[in-house]
């Protein structure tokens, strides 16, 4: 406990439960903070719209435990230093990969900064977390979150982290704001995307005006994300308004400044290949996948992947090559490039820090989306009853009936077709086959495919000289 930052307090309590971790964080939110008293105003708790169910799941936060938790309305009656200011989300991140969230737990924040369990009393226990080393992060729905710089040992012994004094090293750069002698979480992320912007696209100021029906002098009461001061009112003008709080956050003289949260995202929003192509990224379970097909013409070391258009030559390749479907460059932007397996299995095919998925990594994806364990290893269609293919297919591009397509996973699989070993092109509009890096035998390699009239995912193998599309997975 308390291995790195021992200005911190630690005390010992033996819990009777299974091996769990107990912690007592302390944090201040800028919006309701009063530096004269060193406490936060707890104005939201008296609002009828204060949620009794944790708000984070509905807002799309990554939940690794604690989802759906509720509080008793009576815990909001507590007054004084222990009055409830708002919900916060406590995350335990991997010690080795700071972007990976291992466990989450919902908690209440008290006026004096204590982060406490949902009964507003005692010591927080994170569901499912076992003793070990973690980075501890705390998030709020419209303040920028914070994380410990170094992994810290968590155990049954209560560990206290005080983010309010400046003594605790935090992850990234300048994660907290200094107010008097205190450190606080920065407010102003009304349009919640992990950054505070006053102007430009996706800024945090416009949502305030929208909440007010476009009338700047309106005031709307309640529990709203645009209330970045947490005084239970959304205001655009006048004293204590929420717009000024955002302007102050970015700097009154630098309205175009952007202040970013210093917690690494679980997955980056995009990834860029060596040619400069930018791909959207989707998180599915613990995996970060490209949400579009690869279209690089170079390996990540900059060397060229040969472009082979001739059909006979294509079938004779035993080294990496690419082409576009029908040799038509117009297909590149939508469907990406078609690669033979020799290119797909080259360690440099994906951007640095990314790789072609193995057969097992495809299974991880399939399992996350609901393919039963007993189906994962079979040759053929998986997850038909669970509509796993439908969860992965784009709702456009595919030929009718595009059975089951919802793209609810965000994977955005496209019917990109293939090139056979005779050099001909097949199946655009109907099939979306994608390589794995795994061999099936000397002549064959594993792939996955989706089909326009299928709800499942196909696991099968093709000759290595066949051309299929590719997805990359973050290491």
Q: Does residue 231 interact with Ca ion by CB under 5 A?
A: yes
227 contacts Ca ion (rule: CB under 5 A): yes
Residue holding tokens 């900064």?
A: 113
Instruction: Single out the residue of 92, 89, 86, 189 nearest to residue 143, CA to CA.
Output: 189
Q: Decide whether 258 or 313 has the Cβ nearer to Ca ion.
A: 258
Distance of closest approach, residue 30 Cβ to Ca ion, in angstroms: 12
Residue 112 as a binder of Ca ion (CB under 5 A): the answer is yes
Helices (H) and strands (E) in the chain, counts: 8, 31
The one among 142, 164, 229, 300 contacting Ca ion by CB under 5 A: 229
Q: Is 206 in the site for Ca ion (CB under 5 A)?
A: no
**Residue of 54, 69, 162, 189 that binds Ca ion (CB under 5 A):** 189
82 scored as a contact of Ca ion (CB under 5 A): yes
Displacement of CA 448 from its chain's centroid (Å): 24
DSSP one-letter code for 360 = H
Give 78's Cβ-side CA count (13 Å radius): 18
Q: Are 428 and 417 in contact (CB under 8 A)?
A: yes
Residues between 320 and 349 that touch Ca ion (CB under 5 A): none
Whole-angstrom CA distances from 105 to 47, 64, 102, 150, 458 are 24, 8, 11, 20, 37
Question: With contact defined as beta carbons under 8 Å apart, do 354 and 470 qualify?
Answer: no
Bridge partners of residue 39, in order along the sequence: 34
Stretch that binds Ca ion, among 140-148, 224-232, 323-331, 353-361 (CB under 5 A): 224-232
Binding footprint of Ca ion, residue count (CB under 5 A): 13
Reduced to 3 states (helix: H, G, I; strand: E, B; else coil), residue 339 is strand
CA distance 411 to 434: 12
CB of 8 to Ca ion, least distance (A): 17
Q: How far is the CB of 31 from Ca ion (least distance, A)?
A: 7
224 contacts 248 by C-beta, under 8 angstroms:
no
- Residue 386 binds Ca ion, judged by CB under 5 A: no
Task: Using the minimum distance from each CB to Ca ion, give the nearer residue, 164 or 233.
Answer: 233
The C-alpha angle 278, 472, 457, rounded to 5 degrees, equals: 120
Distant-in-sequence, close-in-space partners of 74: CB < 8 Å, separation ≥ 6: none
47 binds Ca ion (CB under 5 A): no
191 is a contact residue toward Ca ion (CB under 5 A) = yes
Nearer to Ca ion, 183 or 451 (CB): 183
Q: Which stretch binds Ca ion (CB under 5 A): 74-82, 354-362, 379-387, 412-420?
A: 74-82
**Residue number with CB closer to Ca ion (25 or 423):** 25
Distance separating alpha carbons of residues 134 and 92, to the nearest angstrom: 6
Interface residue with Ca ion, options 39, 41, 100, 110 (CB under 5 A): 110
Size (the chain), residues: 475
Q: Which of 69, 206, 242, 366 binds Ca ion (CB under 5 A)?
A: 242
Q: Which of 114, 162, 366, 465 binds Ca ion (CB under 5 A)?
A: 114
Nearer to Ca ion, 108 or 284 (CB): 108
Quick check: 193 binds Ca ion (CB under 5 A)? yes
For residue 119, CA distances in Å to 53, 105, 124, 223, 314 come to 13, 13, 10, 20, 66
Stretch that binds Ca ion, among 22-30, 48-56, 104-112, 306-314 (CB under 5 A): 104-112
Residue closer to Ca ion, measured from CB, 69 or 204: 204
Q: Which of 233, 317, 409, 436 binds Ca ion (CB under 5 A)?
A: 233
Q: Provide the terminal-to-terminal Cα distance of the chain, rounded to the nearest Å.
A: 30
Binding site for Ca ion (CB under 5 A): 82, 110, 112, 114, 189, 191, 193, 204, 227, 229, 231, 233, 242
């Amino acid at each position: 406990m308390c291995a790195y930052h021992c200005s911190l307090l630690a005390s010992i309590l033996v819990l009777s439960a299974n091996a769990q971790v107990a912690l007592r964080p302390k944090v201040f939110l800028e919006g309701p903070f009063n530096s004269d008293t060193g406490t936060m105003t707890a104005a939201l708790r008296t609002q009828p719209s204060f949620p009794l169910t944790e708000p984070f799941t509905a807002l799309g936060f990554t939940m690794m435990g604690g989802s759906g938790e509720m509080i008793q309305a009576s815990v909001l009656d507590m007054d004084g230093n222990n009055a409830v200011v708002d919900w916060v989300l406590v995350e335990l991140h991997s010690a080795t990969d700071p972007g990976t969230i291992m466990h989450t737990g919902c908690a209440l924040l008290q006026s004096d900064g204590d982060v406490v369990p949902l009964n507003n009393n005692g010591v927080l226990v994170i569901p499912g977390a076992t003793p070990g080393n973690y980075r501890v992060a705390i998030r709020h729905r419209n303040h920028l979150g914070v994380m410990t710089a170094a992994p810290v040992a968590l155990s049954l012994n209560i560990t206290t982290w005080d983010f309010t004094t400046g003594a605790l090293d935090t992850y990234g750069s300048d994660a907290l704001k200094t107010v008097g002698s205190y450190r606080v979480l920065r407010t102003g992320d009304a349009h919640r995307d992990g950054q505070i912007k006053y102007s430009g696209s996706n800024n945090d100021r416009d949502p305030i005006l929208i909440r007010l029906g476009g009338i700047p002098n309106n005031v709307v009461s309640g529990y709203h994300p645009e209330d970045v001061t947490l005084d239970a009112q959304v205001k655009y003008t006048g004293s204590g308004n929420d717009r000024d709080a955002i302007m102050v956050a970015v700097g009154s003289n630098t309205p175009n400044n952007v202040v970013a949260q210093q917690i690494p995202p679980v997955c980056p929003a995009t990834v860029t290949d060596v040619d400069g192509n930018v791909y959207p990224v989707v998180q599915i379970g613990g995996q970060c996948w490209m949400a579009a097909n690869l279209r690089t013409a170079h390996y990540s070391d900059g060397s060229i992947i040969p472009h082979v258009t001739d059909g006979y030559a294509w079938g004779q390749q035993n080294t990496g090559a690419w082409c576009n479907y029908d040799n038509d460059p117009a297909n590149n932007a939508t469907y990406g490039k078609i690669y033979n397996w020799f290119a797909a299995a080259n360690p440099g095919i994906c951007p640095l820090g990314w790789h072609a998925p193995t057969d097992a990594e495809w299974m991880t994806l399939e399992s996350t989306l609901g393919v039963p364990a007993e189906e994962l290893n079979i040759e053929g269609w998986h997850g038909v009853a669970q509509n796993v293919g439908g969860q992965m297919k784009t709702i456009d591009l595919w030929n009718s009936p595009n059975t089951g397509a919802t793209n609810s996973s965000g994977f955005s699989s496209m019917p990109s077709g293939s090139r056979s070993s005779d050099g001909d092109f097949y199946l655009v509009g109907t099939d979306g086959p994608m390589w794995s890096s795994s061999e099936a035998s000397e002549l064959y390699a594993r792939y996955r495919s989706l089909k326009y009239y299928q709800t499942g995912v196909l696991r099968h193998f093709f000759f290595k000289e066949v051309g299929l599309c590719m997805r990359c997975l973050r290491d």
